[in-house]
Amino acid sequence: MLLFLLSGCYSVPEQASGGGRAEAGPEKSADTGAVADTQSGASDVFQAKGAFHADNLLLAQRGISVFPTESGFFFSGSARFYDLSQKTAFTLCNVPGCLHNSESCPAYFSGVLALMEHEGKLFVFCEAGSGLILVCADLKTGERRTLESWQPVALGDSVVLSGTPFYSTGRLYFKLGTSAGDHYSEQCFLCDLPEGVLRKFGGENEREGFDFLGAYGERAVVAWSIRDEDPQRFDEFLSQHPELDPKSHPDADPDSAYSAYLDDFQRQHVKGELRLYDLKSGGYEPLLPILADGSENAPNVFFSSGGSCYGRYLLYTLGDFDGAETICRYDLEHGTVERLVDGSRFLNGFLYDDRLIYLEKDEKQELHVRVYDPETKENRELDNAGETQIMAFSIHAETADAFIGMYQGKDMWITKADFYAGRFENAVSY
């Protein structure tokens, strides 16, 4: 609960306004347990479940996303909270007459890169010269402390956030990239909350690479890679290719040539696999054999554009992209696989409101938005505002009662009930 936000200084953003089609429940596939799309009959539109899972949430970043809670969401770039019940954005400051533009304001942060909230505390990544800091701010008392500062060693070097940090089951996961001269390295971190205790993940071997795809409890999905040698630096590459010198060859394109070299290097000298790590022991097991169904086609855990993990689930597809496919989810807590929907032209999928919302194309290459409920086995097509090539309201995050996303090119939110019913005119800008 964020009741303290309803008093003190606040600012109100501009607000704007923005019959569903439903179908009968699907039949169960006898051999796979997955749901076959019957697309026959008609029934009432889905009712909102009011589900919200505070795990595998991406942090709010500049112009990219928001950090949701059950009742609203935090803005990227500043300490502001949007309360859905009041349709109002509040600056997290209780100082009368404050302009929220200096360090004297408890809600002011300079150079915000990403932020999140946990148990009444904000955790904020901020620029600090050529490096960055991680700050913890108590929303009730205004007290702040710097948990860690990362600064480059030499002038001209830098430390940056690499990728998008995320939060899951009491931890903050992120990766930093450090440029030192011609050398670039990356390091993954875990931060236990609310204490803010930091620990490194991997990094003992500079030729290894790690990327967190999601986590739940003590299990983390990690994309691991290793290279057998280091690539040439840009200047080394140019010294071996005089034909790329723009002084003697004005039409040369050394940047594109070097990019092509790096792509080729990646194919020849880098190998990798998806791993399921035990964060307590540090041990791991290859992930794809756990998800595979025995066919020659590897599982695709990058099926969803919104990220691989939602709550405690990893979403993926099985099968040939050009042929028959099945959307599945893997339970990171219990280690079980559930086959959800069979089809052949899946484009994208998301787990929201304890349901699967997915996109598929028909024989005419027209887009359809469908929703499947794993509990009731119902599968229906949703109203898509007449759009046949894009999802009319694209979802980026959810609260208990609303979806947050984009509609008609604007950042907006819509109640889940209105989304299921196709009442997009009720969407509200923020």
Contacts of 368 (CB under 8 A, 6+ apart): 359, 360, 361, 362, 381, 384
pLDDT surpassing 50 at residue 25? no
pLDDT score of 321: 59
Cα–Cα distance for residue pair 291/296, rounded to 1 Å: 12
pLDDT surpassing 90 at residue 67? yes
Note the pLDDT tens digit of each residue in 271-298: 999 999 999 999 999 999 999 988 878 8
Average pLDDT of span 385-406: 96
The pTM of the full predicted model, rounded to 2 decimals, is 0.83
pLDDT score of 81: 93
Confidence of residue 20 (pLDDT cuts 50, 70, 90): very low
Cα–Cα distance for residue pair 212/126, rounded to 1 Å: 21
Q: Residue 262 CB: number of other CB atoms within 10 A?
A: 13
Cα–Cα distance for residue pair 215/207, rounded to 1 Å: 24
pLDDT surpassing 50 at residue 13? no
Cα–Cα distance for residue pair 253/1, rounded to 1 Å: 56
Confidence of residue 21 (pLDDT cuts 50, 70, 90): very low
pLDDT surpassing 50 at residue 375? yes
pLDDT score of 102: 85
Cα–Cα distance for residue pair 420/371, rounded to 1 Å: 9
User: For residues 31 and 384, which has the higher predicted lDDT (pLDDT)?
Assistant: 384
Which of 101-105, 146-150, 360-364 bottoms out in mean pLDDT, i.e. has the lowest? Answer: 101-105
Average pLDDT of span 388-400: 96
- Rounded to the nearest 10°, the torsion over CA 80, 81, 82, 86 is -110
Q: Within 13 A of 133's CA, how many CA atoms are on the CB side?
A: 13
Note the pLDDT tens digit of each residue in 161-209: 998 899 999 999 999 999 998 788 999 999 999 999 999 999 888 899 9
Which of 238-252, 318-332, 351-365 bottoms out in mean pLDDT, i.e. has the lowest? Answer: 318-332
- Rounded to the nearest 10°, the torsion over CA 193, 195, 196, 201 is -70
Cα–Cα distance for residue pair 151/144, rounded to 1 Å: 20
Cα–Cα distance for residue pair 236/258, rounded to 1 Å: 10
Average pLDDT of span 345-356: 95
Note the pLDDT tens digit of each residue in 206-259: 899 999 999 999 999 999 999 999 899 888 999 999 999 888 889 999 999 999
